[in-house]
């Protein structure tokens, strides 16, 4: 047995060396982007410029998709991707040059609002997400440039070059789309990060704490089993939201009490997403998903009882 060791170890070293030279697959390449700190300088500069440009008002909320209840960017990207894919396919159909040019032009125009919404969402992400998002945006910008070049080539009568540039644009767009899906699915950008209250909270009313233990006019944190709650007492009223912000999981109990339309609201300390305390509705983005809220009542002895909010229920 001992004689076999010298033969086995070189093979193992060779296998490790060969593995180290292996070209990373798409998933591994995306994971490496998450840790590419060299992108942080550019990401910080661009995100700062975007935030200064869009601000935090109604325009920013419109770009985030607060009014829609979900991010606007994924919906808008379907148009240019569809136009450009169709144009590349029609290039193989005789007599369809005019239709291909029209589709490319529509894709170039449709990508502008999609990019604006994407930049607004990207500027309010965590650092690892921004690194992948920067590569995603760069790939999409490259695709835009290739399709623009394709349109110029076709207009000058160089149809063969135009078709070649369109294929390059489609390949670059596919790479960008992969990174976008990694950003959305693997890193959770755009998804709700709030706890699934309906599945975790016990059925019916649950004792939380006594109202006298809650400071008036301040946000406190209380536990309901596995759930962490942000609790606000306003006189004899108690308002409760799930503590983990739907945007990126920030601790709402560390946020600030605000007001919108005469209704008390709670703003996340991480990115400023603001929710109405009464029902968890999004008042300001970047959040788009409603924050889970709780119905409350004061039982005998001043015990605050809570249950997941039931729209239209009468208690």
DSSP one-letter string for the chain: -GGGHHHHHHHHHHHHHHHHHSPP-HHHHHHHHHT-GGGHHHHHHHHHHHHHHHTTSHHHHHHHTTTTTS-HHHHHHHHHHHHHHHHHHHTTSTT-HHHHHHHHHHHHHHHHHHHHHHHHHHTTS-HHHHHHHHHHHHHHHHHHHHHHHHHHHHHTT-HHHHHHHHHHHHHHHHHHHHHHHIIIIIS-TTS--S--HHHHSPSS-EEEEEGGGSPBTSEEEEEETTEEEEEEEETTEEEEEESB-TTT--BGGGSEEEEETTEEEEE-TTT--EEETTT--EEESS--SPPPEEEEEE-GGGEEEEEE--TT---
Q: Is the pLDDT of residue 256 over 90?
A: yes
Place of tokens 């207009």: 155
pLDDT in the model for residue 8: 47
Q: Is the pLDDT of residue 314 over 60?
A: no
Q: Is the pLDDT of residue 70 over 80?
A: yes
pLDDT in the model for residue 21: 61
Is 245:252 a contact under the CB 8 Å cutoff?
Answer: yes
Cβ neighbourhood burial of 94 (10 Å; 0-12, 13-18, 19+)? exposed
pLDDT in the model for residue 1: 47
d(CA 196, CA 227): 9
Q: What is the pLDDT of residues 127-185, one digit of tens each?
A: 999 999 999 999 999 999 999 999 999 999 999 999 999 999 999 999 999 999 999 99
To the question of domain 197-308 being in CATH 3.30.1300.10, the answer is: no
**pLDDT class for 9, splitting at 50, 70, 90?**
very low
pLDDT in the model for residue 311: 66
Q: What is the pLDDT of residues 274-307, one digit of tens each?
A: 999 999 999 999 999 999 999 999 998 899 999 9
| Cα–Cα nearest to 179, from 77, 30, 2 | 30
**pLDDT class for 5, splitting at 50, 70, 90?**
very low
d(CA 115, CA 192): 21
Q: What is the pLDDT of residues 188-239, one digit of tens each?
A: 998 888 888 877 666 789 999 999 999 999 999 999 988 899 999 999 999 9
Share of residues in the chain with pLDDT > 90 (%): 78
pLDDT in the model for residue 128: 94
pLDDT in the model for residue 11: 54
d(CA 160, CA 175): 23
282-284 vs 293-298, strand pairing mode: unpaired
pLDDT in the model for residue 55: 79
CA distance to 4, 68, 198, 250, per residue, from 290 (Å): 64, 11, 13, 14
Confirm whether pTM is higher than 0.85. Answer: no
pLDDT in the model for residue 312: 58
pLDDT in the model for residue 196: 82
């Amino acid at each position: 047995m001992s004689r076999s060791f010298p033969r086995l170890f070189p093979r193992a070293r060779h296998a490790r060396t060969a593995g180290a030279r292996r070209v990373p697959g798409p998933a591994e390449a995306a994971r490496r982007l998450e840790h590419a700190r060299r992108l942080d300088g550019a990401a910080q500069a661009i995100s700062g410029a975007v935030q200064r440009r869009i601000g935090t008002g109604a325009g920013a909320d419109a770009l985030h998709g607060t009014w829609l209840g979900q991010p606007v960017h994924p919906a808008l990207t379907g148009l240019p991707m569809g136009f450009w894919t169709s144009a590349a396919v029609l290039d193989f159909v005789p007599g369809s040059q005019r239709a291909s040019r029209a589709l490319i032009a529509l894709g170039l125009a449709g990508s502008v609002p999609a990019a604006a919404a994407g930049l607004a969402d990207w500027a309010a992400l965590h650092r690892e997400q921004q690194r992948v998002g920067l590569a995603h945006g760069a790939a999409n910008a490259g695709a835009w440039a290739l399709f623009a070049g394709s349109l110029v080539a076709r207009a000058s009568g160089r149809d063969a070059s135009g078709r070649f540039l369109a294929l390059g644009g489609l390949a670059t767009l596919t790479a960008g789309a992969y990174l976008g899906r990694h950003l959305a699915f693997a890193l959770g950008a755009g998804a709700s990060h709030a706890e699934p209250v309906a599945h975790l909270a016990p059925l019916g009313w649950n004792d939380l704490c006594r109202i006298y233990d809650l400071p008036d006019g301040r946000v406190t944190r209380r536990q309901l089993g596995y759930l962490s709650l942000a609790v606000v007492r306003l006189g004899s009223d108690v308002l409760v939201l799930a503590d983990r912000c739907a945007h990126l999981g920030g601790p709402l109990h560390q946020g600030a009490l605000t007001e919108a339309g005469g209704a008390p609201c709670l703003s996340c300390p991480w990115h400023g997403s603001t929710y109405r305390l009464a029902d968890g509705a999004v008042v300001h983005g970047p959040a788009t998903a409603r924050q889970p809220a709780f119905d409350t009542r004061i039982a005998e002895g001043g015990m605050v009882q809570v249950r997941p909010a039931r729209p239209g229920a009468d208690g």
